[in-house]
Structure 1
């Protein structure tokens, strides 16, 4: 969703003009333009997919700003406050990796659609507070928060419309998909951190070791 940047309305639709405001979003948009140019000049079919706020197994939890869900899981496991940039009421369409996987496969196998852009992800928005409570419930532990200054690039509105992908690729999130993927991610990170404590690796260093197992 970083490609859209600041927009006057939400959810973002694929026909909106991109206005990325940070290097991450600018880089993504540049790659989209490069893909479009190369494919159109050489007669290659293509689709552009814009996944939104993806989470799931094998996701990095050592980043200081992005990947909020795995980062929060690690903090909760270590009994540390969960860092919050902005407000707990901030809404995002957090999308389980299983949903994104189905969307990518469906797009790749669809022979009728070419040169289109699709937002790919959940149609259900959840606040940061809701996500934190779900993590707390899975771990059966109380959590606290550390409120930090919002980065200048933080988007208050960052929700993509999924109407186009539903209509053309028939991708819909199941009712239990979010909770199932969250539980799997919690269990994976929990096992990773516990195994490192047992062999004497400092938990705060563990993410680097985690990457050596699963890749960056």
Structure 2
């Protein structure tokens, strides 16, 4: 099978590429390296058996001619290319909106043209300001005002979902939408605001762990291995076409408790430092107080059952980051 992964040099994309290559498939990736990195895929290019089945294109998904050739060549498409991370989105609002909406429009148009199966990676951010748990796929959406650019990412990804479902309903495109809840693992960087690698890096350097707000906000975290396992099965399952699924862990933890666990796990001498949101992000930011997924729908479809709890995830991330020369 030939697989196209947009954003394939990114954190999740590189793990997905690795899994397909291990299965014996041909993998094609496209990435503009705005948040991805060639370091994430260097081992795949160097590995003898993989290098002959691994094709890397450094370009943007906005290049329709390149995408036309790639989508036409491949059997299955995983669309992961997107602006990611709170800090990146707040600093690059126009680019983030354009990439997320127009880029997805190109992917869907071409997948429909060639009748290719496609999985669209969305985000738990689309739920907005809910405080109940668990969040389920049929919940209403609650956003803040448009003056708060923090919500531009959520709104753009929601438009991706609308476009995907519209293609399914009007053309029968075999498209699946996956809403991700804080995917974590090796190769993820804290540069764009991802909380676990950022806190682990600070702990390893014995710097203060910076916690935004009062730290009472809660999240669940999902090991990238579990996400990759789910993606490979969802894109092949006819019951997933035209549907939206949560993909996430179920262990809820406050950010304050998360920081304490990281300090304990690393043996760090770091202190915990609370930073007000407006000081960290400026006036355009609002937080989601709680984000816990309901996973009954995906469990019934493919038997999704996350194998890696938070302690296992943290242990893997710490081990990976200890080996990096910059500890970050």
Cα separation, 2, equivalents of 1:147 and 1:154:
15
Which residue of 1 is the match for residue 134 of structure 2? 11
User: SS in structure 1 opposite 2:258?
Assistant: helix
Shift of 1:49: 0.6
Counterparts in 2 of 1:13 and 1:43: CA distance versus 1, 3 Å: same
Cα separation, 2, equivalents of 1:25 and 1:111:
27
Deviations 1:21-71 (A, max 9, x none): 4111112111112222234333211111101011111111212xx310000
User: SS in structure 2 opposite 1:112?
Assistant: helix
Name the TM-score, length of structure 1 as normaliser. Answer: 0.80
Name the TM-score, length of structure 2 as normaliser. Answer: 0.54
Which residue of 2 is the match for residue 184 of structure 1? 316
Deviations 1:114-164 (A, max 9, x none): 211111111121122332233223312233122111354201122221122
Cα separation, 1, equivalents of 2:269 and 2:306:
29
User: SS in structure 1 opposite 2:125?
Assistant: coil
Q: Are 1:45 and 2:137 matched, yes or no?
A: no
Shift of 1:76: 1.0
Q: Structure 1: 5+ residue runs without aligned partners?
A: 197-202, 208-216
Cα separation, 1, equivalents of 2:262 and 2:224:
17
User: SS in structure 1 opposite 2:211?
Assistant: strand
Q: CA RMSD in A?
A: 2.0
Q: Are 1:163 and 2:296 matched, yes or no?
A: yes
Q: Are 1:36 and 2:165 matched, yes or no?
A: yes
Q: Which structure dedicates a bigger proportion of its chain to strand?
A: 2
Q: Are 1:60 and 2:189 matched, yes or no?
A: yes
Which region of structure 1 is more displaced relative to structure 2, 73-82 or 83-92?
83-92
Q: How does 1:50-129 map to 2 (within 5 A)?
A: 50-63=179-192, 66-129=193-256
Work out whether residues 164 and 242 of structure 2, in 8 Å CA contact, stay in contact via their aligned partners in 1.
Answer: no
Shift of 1:186: 1.4
Q: Are 1:154 and 2:287 matched, yes or no?
A: yes
User: SS in structure 2 opposite 1:84?
Assistant: strand
Shift of 1:85: 1.1
Q: Structure 2: 5+ residue runs without aligned partners?
A: 1-123, 145-150, 279-284
Deviations 1:185-214 (A, max 9, x none): 11222222xx24xxxxxx7xxx6xxxxxxx
Cα separation, 1, equivalents of 2:288 and 2:273:
19
Cα separation, 1, equivalents of 2:228 and 2:174:
20
User: SS in structure 2 opposite 1:9?
Assistant: coil
Shift of 1:95: 1.4
Deviating beyond 4 angstroms after TM superposition, the runs of 4 or more aligned structure 1 residues are none
User: SS in structure 1 opposite 2:316?
Assistant: helix
Larger RCO: 1 or 2 (CA < 8 Å, sep 6+): 1
Q: Are 1:2 and 2:125 matched, yes or no?
A: yes
